[in-house]
Amino acid sequence: MMARRTAFTEMLRCTLLGHLHSRIAVLLAVVFIPAWIAVARLCAPGRPVLFSLHSAGVVVHARANQVSQVVNALAAVSLVIGFSMFMETFKAGEMDRRLVLAGYPRPQMLLAKISAAALISALLALYAAVLLRSSLPVTQLSPLVLALFSAGLAYGGIGLLLGSLVRGELEGFFFVIMLSLVDTGLQNPVLNVADITGLTVLPLYGANQSALAAAFTSVAPWFYGLPSLAWCAVTSALALSAFYVRTRSHCRIAPEAPV
């Protein structure tokens, strides 16, 4: 048990250091999130929009630029964490395989990476929520932080899975960008002119519903982000399965034959 705990702690430390040493990831976290929120505030129209939140069962009346800021914050957090998890997993792939050959436990490795994604998601969710609070009158701050956190975890799991599967950086970047654009674009009440079936299966559906409810209503959206957390659980399980398939454990000493 102690050896497994040590393996988890050491892998978590190395994973967090890998994220901190990625200048692109740090730059995206510090600059891209406030810039993307500012773009929505400056470029989106100030006209009022009326839209339904199906999870809460309420109709929301808000300004288009305020709604776009919330949606853009979700997109920015999910993109940054998706990129970060993909880059760290992809670049550490060869070292991870060597560690497995040396006897490093694979479940502890994956658990450490997921824990790193959770810590980074929590920090960026709080950062983005504070930025939104300074830009628009947020009704419920804590549920908004939770919604941003679940969005980050959903794309953290997707980045982890892509880092375990794809063979080139370009493929991973393209998939994260396209999925995020489709995900947030179809669910933006400012852009969406008609109800589209199948939105509930998108990674950010629960987080989007929760964030909009937290920002513009008094309905408690504590459980709306569960579908996004389910995405993290499923993609992490698939990443572990892919890692098991593509690696093999170290050779164990065979028991001595009886004389």
Of 116, 113, 150, 125, give the one whose Cα is nearest residue 236.
113
- The DSSP secondary-structure symbol of 185 reads H
Is the per-residue pLDDT at 22 higher than 90? no
Radius of gyration of the chain (CA): 20
Please state the φ and ψ torsions of residue 81, each to the nearest 5 degrees.
-70, -40
Q: What is the pLDDT, as a whole number, of residue 79?
A: 92
Domain ranges of the chain: 2-246
- Determine which of 10-19, 178-187, 203-212, 246-255 has the lowest per-residue pLDDT on average: 246-255
**Helix extents (H) in the chain:** 2-21, 23-27, 33-43, 64-91, 93-101, 106-135, 141-165, 169-187, 205-216, 226-246
In whole numbers, what is the pLDDT of the chain averaged over residues?
Answer: 85
Confidence of residue 3 (pLDDT cuts 50, 70, 90): low
Instruction: Report CA 255 to chain centroid distance, whole Å.
Output: 45
143 by DSSP, 3-state: which?
helix
Is the per-residue pLDDT at 232 higher than 80? yes
Q: What's this model's pTM, rounded to 2 decimal places?
A: 0.88
Please state the φ and ψ torsions of residue 114, each to the nearest 5 degrees.
-65, -40
